[in-house]
Amino acid sequence: MELWLTAQYVGSGNSRMHSLEDRGVPQGEHAVSVEPRVIPDWEAAHIFLEVTRCGSFRAASEKLRRSVNALRRKVDELEQALGVTLLTRQVNGVRLTEEGSKIYDAALQMEMASFDLLQARNISAKGVEGELRLAVTEGLGTFWLAPRLVEFQRANPKLMVNLACAMKSADVLRLEADVSVQLGRPHSSDLKVVRLGRLHLMLFAAKSYLDTYGYPTKISDLAKHRFVVQVDDDKRWMEFYDRIFPGIPPIGLVSLRSNVSSAHYWSIAKGAGIGVLPTYSQAIGANLVPLDLGVTQDIDIWLTYHPDAKRIARVRRTIEWIIQSFDSRRFPWFKDEFIHPDKLSQVYKGEPLVNMFAGYSSK
């Protein structure tokens, strides 16, 4: 998408010149046509926005998955086209100049206009087909939604689901995703937000680990054990750790830290240490032992999407499917109240989930 800034054309042909001369305007002061000035494509403005938001070229490079030099070239091109310096490079990042602040505000308006353009295009499409970008936290995406997507896609064969699993929530307003399932409630009033249910977390360990290091029977026993933790941007793991070991540093107790749920689960399942997992792990076939020490944590699960997105058939169908996938009447481990993993089989009335999640067992 290219944006064109044009000067109004004044004066065309001899008749116009004669009329000006007749009115006493000197020929040297005649208005002339000006060549349209071309502003670099939207990509340059978008990169400028991202570098500014991230605070540095390196951080923006990691987010956009492009080289630092490529981003610098694009920003340089934008500065040369506009004839102003937008950013000053500093040791700890970049800072907007006074002119850059004005351009930044204008670029934000361009960004919002481009989003409106894309939404209008999507709304005009009919039927449940095309690409649907679904962003979800890595654990829920890997262990809950991904295995269930098979039945959803069979019912919607013309729909391609682009599943993005990451710890950091996608920005739906900026169209990083059509629909997002996340563990933190978004604060923007411009988004539609639905509370899907509640995730209940507790301590688990592999039987092989407990046979080797013993079964803790009270919280104080945990100081003699090893732990594996999954780090997250919101520092939930640290808050949970501090509840159990106030004032005690992780070094010496934590044997492994990982940033993805799959690595975290397998480190627990293979006996690296005790760790925190959602209670539904048992329902989908995890061969682990829940530790009854009165240590639990609850986190609400949120669905978020752009207000106009539900007018798009493929987004509407996906939203309906996601809400059904977290229906606590069908899947009691998403209820507000805590249900012990050992009792989930008694309250769950649906078909066994183990076959759907085959391979999750630590055996």
Q: Which CATH code of 3.40.710.10, 1.10.10.10, 3.40.50.720, 1.10.1060.10 fits the domain covering 42-124?
A: 1.10.10.10
pLDDT for position 34: 44
DSSP 261-305: HHHHHHHHHTTS-BEEEETHHHHTT---EE--SS-EEEEEEEEEE
Decide if 42-124 and 130-197+300-330 have a common fold. no
Q: What is the pLDDT of residues 200-216, one digit of tens each?
A: 999 999 999 999 999 99
Largest alpha-carbon pair distance within the chain?
Answer: 105
Q: Sorting pLDDT into bands at 50, 70 and 90, what band is 45?
A: confident
The confidence band for 231, taking pLDDT boundaries of 50, 70 and 90, is confident
In this predicted structure, what is the pLDDT of residue 127? 65
Q: Which amino acid is at 103?
A: I
Question: Is residue 31 over pLDDT 50?
Answer: no
The average pLDDT across 290-310 equals 89
- Assess whether pLDDT exceeds 70 at residue 114: no
Q: pLDDT band at 6, cuts 50/70/90?
A: very low
Residue 40, helix vs strand vs coil: coil
Mean pLDDT score of the chain = 81
SS3 338: coil
**What pLDDT does residue 198 have?**
96
Q: Over pLDDT 90: what percentage of the chain?
A: 34
pTM exceeding 0.85: no
Q: Report the distance separating Cα 356 and Cα 147, nearest Å.
A: 6
User: Does the structural domain 199-299 have CATH classification 3.30.1510.10?
Assistant: no
- CATH code linked to domain 130-197+300-330: 3.40.190.10
State mean pLDDT over 236-242: 82
| Distance in angstroms (rounded) separating the CA atoms of residues 274 and 249 | 16
Segments making up each domain of the chain, as ranges: 4-38, 42-124, 130-197+300-330, 199-299
